[in-house]
Structure 1
Amino acid sequence: MVDYREILRLKSLNYNNTDIAVSVHSSRNTIQEVVNIAGALKISWPLDDEVSNADLEEMLYPDRKSKNENRLIPDYPKIHRELAQKGVTLTLLWTEYYAEAVAAGKSPYMSTQFNDNYRKWARVSRATMRIQRKPGDTMEVDWAGATITIYDPVTGDTTPAYLFVAVLSCSCYVYAEACPNMKSESFINCHIHAYEYFGGVTRLLIPDNLRTGVTKNTRYETIIPRTYKEMAQHYDTAIVPARVKAPDDKPNAEGSVKFATTWILAALRNEHFFSFEEAKAAVAEKLEDLNTRPFQKRVGNRRLAFENEEKEFMQPLPNNPYEPAVWSTAKVQNDYLITDGINKYSVPFDLIGEEVDIRTAKDTIEVFFHSNRVASHTRVMKAQRDPIRRKEHMPLAHQKYLSYDKDSFHSWAKDIGMNTEKVMEFFLTSEKEPEQGYKYCVGLMKLAERYNPSRIEKACERILSVTTQPSLRSITTILKNGQDQIPVEKASEPAASTGKRSKGITRGAAAFRGGDAE
């Protein structure tokens, strides 16, 4: 309100309008207008102490009272609730208020006064809360600097337990959990537990620039670890890391970390924990005390603020909680296998030499190439002697090799012919174990691919006609020389006499004895 009393007092001391305007923070036009109207109404300084600025305004501007009585007063609590909705601004709400006032035949506030009045209402109500932080909008996370000491009951050695803290920016409702380490798996699990504790998800997630949460954060680019980003996508929230060395970007987390350090870690300083489970249970108990501890400067506590002001604005939880997974990269070797550290799993053989992304979860292991899933296996937690393969991942030759067994060899030979079957049987039974003859059986099958099956049958017939112990080498020689083309009966006949004299030794044995020839 304009300070009418001070204007009249300073004017009576002969100050000019410029000096008066600077002193009372009003415009020179307003000063001149007040002086002119007061002069016309014969109102001058000094005034009685009982005369207030409101009384002076009613005397100087009698028409304003009736105008204010006809003004539509905004519903400020409703405005505050509407601001919590995504995309809603004061400008939009003023537009709707203006239309409502006109429709009701009342005078509306202009936008500047509308905004100022709302902010004044917010400052004097419990909604001081969140002009910048809307209910259900952000969750800030961080690690506490202090730790809890765990004592080994046998050796007396100590190990630290770390404290994860998540806080809702509007109500300052806190979730805290003790963790054995600050690795990615613990970090992700704490987020899952925090969402379950709050019973909902915020629109934004603000972590500090810790390695498990942010790979790179510069003015030009932000790179989030794939596991963390995947978790955020599952819960339909967006990760907006705080700027480097900018704690003001997450003031509630900073304050809540200090608060949790005092009321959880410091409160447990005299306790001796001999297992991590004991420490975790103690932290959970202190967390409830923290959230129900009364505010110092406002009515209620963190839990009541959450339930009354923020809970209804949280996004719903997904049907299933996120299953933590670890991402890694690997180059596919010649055996087209990748590993989860326990067992080896196959990928398509045509990825040999390529770099693939591996997603390792509790029950599954998935392989991605250029963001496309190319393989998926059920994860086996017990170490296996042999790799876990899929037939479709193998080259055709490897698929054939795995299909080799005694029955398949017999079946193939039977389709070729009786003699081939006998040779195959000899290969499988000539050694102590059938597997010792597998390479000869495979060799015979490859000969059938090079030559036609009918020639294989004839070659086997030929070799069996001269020996009961056929060899792969002999069969190969027969095929190369074309001996399988000669009928067995003809090949076994003695060579016909040509009547020609032998060109060998023609003299008898007597010629080489001592003495004269007779």
Structure 2
Amino acid sequence: MANKPISMQRIKQIIRYHHEGMGVKRIVMMSRTSKNTVKQYLSKYKELGLSQAEIDAMDEYSLHRLFSAAPPKELVTKDPRYLRLEVLLPDIVKALRKRGMTIHKQWQLYAASEVDHYQRSQFGDYVRQYIGQSKSSMLIEHKAGDMLYLDYTGDKLHLIDKESGEVSDIEVFVGILPHSQLIYVRACHTQSTADFIECTRLCLEYIGGSPAAIVTDNLKASVIKSSKYEPRLNQAFESFGEHYSTAILPCRAYKPKDKALVEGAVNLVYQRIFTAIDEKEFSTLEDLNAAIALLLDELNLASFKGEESRRVRFEQDEKSLLKPLPAIAYELHQSRSATVMKNGHVNFSVDKHLYSVPYTYIGKKVRIVYTSSTISIYYDYKPIAQHSRDYRKLRYTTEKDHLASNHRFMSEWNPQFFIDKGKAIGEEVAIYLEKLMESKAHPEQGYKACLGVLNLAAKVGAERIKKACMRAHQYQNYTYWAIEDILTKNLDQIDPETETLTDKQQTPEHQNIRGNGYYN
């Protein structure tokens, strides 16, 4: 109706007053409604040809459809053609989910099976009305295996460094297949091109194939310059798409409805995964992704809208329609130049992390080739070192074999190293070395003293050093000099339990010692 709509209860009152024989003036006064509005609704009521009992039996929604719009007459009079079509509509809509299926093809099948049938345009209107979509929004009904939507969550997860307690932000990648609603989630360090490509590759491996197209947001990792007509793609990600035989389709800038499905998936990830992850602490990306994988399986196996799960729907309708993955996985390689510093490490400027190379290359200019997970270092095209990539800033990754022999030995020093060396000689030596390091303000202050005790052991043998450590332990004297003094004076040869002091020992013979006669 052109005028402001009134309540459905008021419409029923107007019709009831009309059947009671009231005139328009009386109905206007009783219902407190304008004269024109009463006339329009009574005119509409007569046009529909329904009885008062039928009107009273209708709920508000049905009454609203009759009086607030102009529905097809068949919906009111229940045309036999529509009754037959109404039974077929659920199967028709389900068939439209399949790749390559259109409303026109479904109409051809319908027309072939019905003698008295609707024409194509009327059939299309009823189908679109059934699924609650206008003709212009039918593109939202995604075909199986057609597209994969990708995005990052706005909120981040965190890793906590065990040594320093430093908290670092972690990005969360989300992918969804619109038809089956199967979701993929993975944590990564950054939104860089390398990490984005790595996450997308793992997503394709998770679903076991390639869709016809990958739809992304306007990330720098996928789009260099956004455009309404022809966006410029990141060359590396475009190459990735070619490797997996899939097209890259960026969303329009500032058009969130273009990626409404993945936005919905992000909200679901917040509810089902983030809430569980936030209750725990993780120090490595591997542990974090392992926890995410368990929660992701629960999400995809849960009943979806009261029907089959996302996983079941994917296996039944979509998996077979994906393109097979290539035999060789795509991996993005990038490179940087660096000079080996005097400490035998190169500074990887991207992450501000330092990696070791053999000490013979100190001062040389090398090439660092890196992926999202590995660091390879080359000198004159010859590989000289390889490390797992570490994203922690201002930290060292050191391979002991790369150090000079004297540096390599010192790099192994720690309390347990010296305790183990002591145990190899005897338990008494291990206990003494442990006490020696504990007596210092910092264990490292005792490393040199421990090394000196071990060197004495090499000179005098295991038995003597064990006895010397036992005697010094009894004295509670934990120094290198205590052990050396005991060994020099052969005190380790005396049994402490049977040790006695004789007169001769009390007063040793010496020309400078005064005798007892001196005091007479």
Which structure has the bigger radius of gyration? 1
TM-score by length of 2: 0.49
TM-score by length of 1: 0.49
